[in-house]
């Protein structure tokens, strides 16, 4: 199965329409079709909880997998070369491709993924905003709105709450004018 994936690929959680050049047409695919052939070989330690390495049970190819399950429900995947695989397995040295959760969100956007929550107040958005602001203090509300597919008013409301309740530094649009 992994032979069908590009060197860098984004796989949706659930069912997806796969590119015709790699997958048979007229068939619904799911991430389970991809991951049934992969086994986890190592999981990255906290705070980078979303990152793991996998090996194809069929061909032995190893993959770096960034699992973005809070916003766009996708897996960002990159083929690893043998040296990178050895560094992960023997020395716990990981490529930096997906070390930043913001990067996974941006890759989701770049590949056309865009999710909206039915009830944004009762979702993972607040936690994600806090994590993004901790990773990059003074991130702007407009950047958060873009990354999380939110309108500015909702992004401002959730960011104010995150800032007040968790003490994170967020640059509000009113602070950028002047």
Question: What is the 3-class SS of the chain, one letter each residue?
Answer: CHHHCCCEEEEECCEECCCCCCCCCCCCEEHHHHHCCEEEEEECCCCCCCEEEEEECCCCCEEEEEEECCCCCEEEEEECCHHHHHHHHHHCCCCCCCCCHHHHHHHHHHCCCCCCCCCHHHCCHHHHHHHHHHHCCCEEHHHHHHHCCCCHHHHHHHHHHHHHHHCCCEECHHHHCC
Q: Which of 53, 79, 95 is the last residue of a domain?
A: 95
- Do residues 65 and 17 share a domain? yes
Q: By C-alpha distance, which of 126, 30, 131 is closest to 73?
A: 30
To the nearest 10°, the Cα dihedral for 155, 158, 164, 170?
-30
> 9 with 80, same domain?
yes
* 132 shares a domain with 75: no
Nearest CA-CA partner of 141 in 115, 176, 178, 110: 176
* Residue numbers of the domain that contains 77: 2-95
Report yes or no: 170 and 162 within 8 Å, Cβ to Cβ: yes
Task: Calculate the CA 142 to chain-centre distance.
Answer: 19
pLDDT of residue 178: 45
Q: Are residues 23 and 78 in the same domain?
A: yes
What is each CA distance from 74 to 61, 89, 96, in whole angstroms? 20, 24, 18
- pLDDT tens-digit profile, the chain (178 residues): 677 788 998 888 876 655 544 544 555 666 777 788 899 999 999 999 999 999 999 999 999 999 999 998 899 999 999 999 999 999 999 999 999 999 999 999 998 888 888 999 899 999 999 999 999 999 999 999 999 999 999 999 999 999 999 999 999 977 654 4
CA 131 to the chain's CA centroid: 13
Does residue 154 share a domain with residue 77? no
Does a structural domain hold residue 149? yes
| pLDDT tens column, 69-116 | 999 889 999 999 999 999 999 999 999 999 999 999 999 999 888 888
- Of the three residues 26, 60, 95, the one that is the final residue of a domain is 95
Note whether 62 and 127 are same-domain residues.
no
Same domain, 53 and 130: no
Report yes or no on 83 lying in a domain. Answer: yes
Q: What is the number of domains present in the chain?
A: 2
For residues 79 and 135, state if they share a domain.
Answer: no
Within a domain: residue 113? Answer: no
- pLDDT value of position 19: 54
- Regarding whether 158 and 84 lie in a shared domain, the answer is no
Which residues have a Cβ under 8 Å from the Cβ of 151 and sit 6 or more positions away? 145
Query: Percentage of the chain surpassing pLDDT 70?
Result: 88
Measured on CA atoms in the order 158, 164, 107, 3, is the torsion positive or negative? negative
Q: Are residues 87 and 127 in the same domain?
A: no
């Amino acid at each position: 199965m992994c032979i069908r994936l590009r060197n860098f690929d984004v796989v949706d959680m659930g069912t997806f329409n796969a590119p015709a050049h790699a997958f048979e047409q007229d068939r619904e695919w799911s991430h389970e079709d991809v991951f049934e052939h992969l086994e986890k070989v190592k999981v990255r330690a906290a705070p980078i909880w979303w990152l793991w390495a996998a090996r194809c049970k069929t061909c032995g190819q190893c993959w770096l997998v960034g699992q973005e399950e809070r916003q766009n429900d996708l897996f960002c995947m990159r083929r690893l070369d043998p040296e990178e695989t050895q560094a992960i397995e023997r020395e716990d040295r990981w490529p930096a491709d997906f070390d930043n959760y913001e990067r996974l969100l941006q890759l989701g956007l770049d590949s056309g993924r865009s999710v909206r929550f039915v009830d944004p107040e009762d979702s993972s958005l607040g936690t994600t905003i806090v994590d993004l602001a901790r990773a990059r203090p003074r991130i702007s509300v407009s950047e958060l709105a873009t990354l999380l597919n939110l309108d500015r008013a909702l992004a401002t409301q959730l960011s104010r709450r995150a800032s007040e309740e968790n003490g994170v530094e967020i640059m509000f649009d009113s602070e950028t004018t002047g």
